[in-house]
Chain A
């Protein structure tokens, strides 16, 4: 079957059979695109990029290019569709991440799925229901106003035996509709939205039946291991592959920069890789994880103004005291449990790639380019993905699998080892934030001068009521970095830019509150007009049982808040910090989140819990060690991610706000974790840790400084 997304619409309908189709368009958010990296899309129908179909069996299939990374999108999108369409959730199948079956999508990142796809999914469901009700009115000879649609059946509300199912209505017909302005259900009429049904992926995942890219077993597959340099910037001088070539069952491929060994079993390929004698020339000594911050400041391009109002000069004059601090954070790895994996098969001039990727459509274009094939002959399938967090936006392994499959003429699987996963990860960038701010004699913020280097500008503009302020930014995860600024790839890491910016801002606000001798919550609320942020702070304080006091109080409690893509989040934490060892045990974290309409409350809770847990890592322990281009962390022995024993008691407080459209759910809570713990540590014993992660050594260092 040729891909519908590249066909004319007439061809598309010729292929997809009968039923009711509603075609609709999901608008990408330009701000999230990296134009240089995204291919231009040619030949796609310009008037739709997602659709739903009601088949003759009554089953509803919705196809969209998003992927299920664990965030539960398979369930929440189906809920929204089923709600408006008037069908049981179980009768909806979501077909995601298949470039042949789903219309184009730029990728699954930036908390866009519910936010941008959700509303159109609802609208499409409503449109389809309106069409079906009209058809039923004609069939049943009943005015449409008297009809109701539930569980896939239209019936006469005054004579329930007069009824016809959706399946009967569409049988033998082919109906194409575009999205019109059909009214959506009011919140009060929701039956499925706002419920927490069973996740659609639960059974597959608890039985081991869920197939990830590396689980695809295609007969004749060869498993490849690829020769990798010891450091970024190292160049291959010579490679002796003769021993590998002499080994039974091993095939050696040398194709330009790609040297690979292939075997029918992955462990056979692994063993063969060890037989290659390679000599690399390492790059010149440069910098490491300790000296990187000076390097960033030295290489950064000119700062761009993100926001400016009032006059810093005026503000300085109003200031009775000035606080000038620098905040640092290290590179952090995505470290999903599933390493990048792909299987590529070329058959009849067409290549199919099963890949763990967050961006199947851009990958399709990249594979086509790498193989010199037309994009319509490339199909990428991304079904279950073992975690992404932004790290599977890049899919080097899939391109390598495709190149090797073309060379050897057999299907090829590439699964990265854990060391390769660390080496090729596009890390969260290291960053430096300098904040100069002042307090008036009355204890209010007089001015705010914010400079972020390396993290990116997202959510860097502060939201407190400050008359004189400026925010500037240079570089970031999206690009705009001069060559050589980072020794390896950097990219989007869950809530890109915003973990850094929130850590710096909310730490500084806490220091201002301390200097003013005021309670950190009261200090924030006293100069905060934004009602949604106030409500989040008040909600978290109530659940936490916040008792006012100036820090350091010795209790080890902290607060931090922030915004992320339209969502408001406020978090409080309690820590037990050990003065002699510097070890911090987080006892309790309470997080309140206003994300507008919550489609699936348990799904939202899962995401907040995940954010808090993952956030413990970058706050307390995770940093990538490297030197002269070599990544020194290669596995989970040295790169420690949060474990069961790290877990605090977690409480989530969803804020009722059903009238606002759904905003981001999967990323916001993680942004507060650096600052809330830094502030709690400060409250415990008056030591301000200015660098993430706050390892025991850094806590002790801060203690020594007083």
Chain B
């Protein structure tokens, strides 16, 4: 159904007149021009399209836009609004926790949700929470290291 949908996007109000069954991924990438959110599988199997909705990580390829009405959506573009890297981004850069970089925005945002929920997670907990985000280049160990490092840097609380 075509209707107006309002939500908060990266801290700013957004209002769109859209078919409310459309998936959030396509609205973000093409209607709003936020291409940091990636298409990987289209079936919520890889995590490349992960964004944060009301502090929880969701797969935007399988989330209809109507589900975010009235909610707060955070994409990778909103994580460093003033140009200053979020500690998770800084840790990914420091550890070179990426190679091709395609899965990276989804990895970072999934980690963001994890650290909001559990500021000081054990290694096994990080692994469990990251399990369904796929990386083909094999940066896994560095990604876990980066998340541990970010957790310490944030001193127990997500910004």
Contacts and interface: CB of A to CB of B under 8 A. Distances in A.
Determine if chain A interacts with chain B. yes
Interface of A: 69-72, 198-199, 201-212, 214-215, 217, 223, 265-267, 335-339, 384-389, 415, 417-418, 602, 606, 609-614, 635-637, 641-645, 647, 650
14 contacts: A208-B76, A208-B105, A265-B31, A337-B102, A337-B134, A384-B101, A386-B100, A387-B136, A387-B137, A389-B136, A606-B139, A635-B41, A636-B46, A643-B134
Given A206-B98, A336-B136, 6 more contacts: A70-B99, A208-B36, A217-B35, A266-B30, A336-B102, A418-B40
A685 to B, nearest CB: 27
A339 B142 CA distance: 24
A205 B95 CA distance: 13
Nearest to B130: A644
B141 A609 contact: yes
A388 B101 CA distance: 12
A333 to B, nearest CB: 10
B100 A336 contact: yes
Contacts of A612: 138
Given A209-B36, A265-B31, A337-B48, A204 B136 contact: no
B141 A650 contact: yes
Contacts of A198: 93
B89 interface: yes
A565 to B, nearest CB: 20
Nearest to A638: B45
Contacts of A602: 96
A609 B39 contact: no
A636 B48 CA distance: 12
Interface in B93-133: 93, 96, 98-105, 108, 127-128, 130-133
Contacts of A606: 96, 99, 139, 142
B108 A206 contact: yes
B22 interface: yes
A215 B35 contact: yes
B36 A266 contact: no
Nearest to A609: B138
The interface centre, meaning the residue of B101, B103, B137, B139 with most chain A CB atoms within 10 A of its CB, is B101
Nearest to B25: A267
Interface in B1-56: 22-23, 26, 29-31, 33-43, 45-46, 48
Given A217-B33, A265-B30, A337 B100 contact: yes
B121 to A, nearest CB: 13
Interface of B: 22-23, 26, 29-31, 33-43, 45-46, 48, 75-77, 79-80, 85, 89-90, 92-93, 96, 98-105, 108, 127-128, 130-144
A210 B43 CA distance: 23
Contacts of A267: 22-23, 26
The 4 closest A-B CB pairs, nearest first, are A208-B36, A70-B100, A613-B138, A386-B102
Contact of B101 (A210, A614, A643): A210
A251 to B, nearest CB: 17
A209 B33 CA distance: 12
A338 B36 contact: no
Nearest to B30: A265
Contacts of A72: 99
A387 B22 contact: no
A98 to B, nearest CB: 18
The interface centre, meaning the residue of B43, B48, B102, B140 with most chain A CB atoms within 10 A of its CB, is B102
B18 to A, nearest CB: 10
B43 A418 contact: yes
A501 to B, nearest CB: 22
B10 to A, nearest CB: 11
A645 B131 contact: yes
A206 B89 contact: yes
Nearest to B45: A636
A198 B96 CA distance: 8
B25 to A, nearest CB: 8
A610 B35 contact: no
Nearest to B91: A206
B99 A204 contact: no
A611 B99 CA distance: 12
Nearest to B127: A644
Given A206-B89, A336-B100, A636 B41 contact: yes
B86 to A, nearest CB: 9
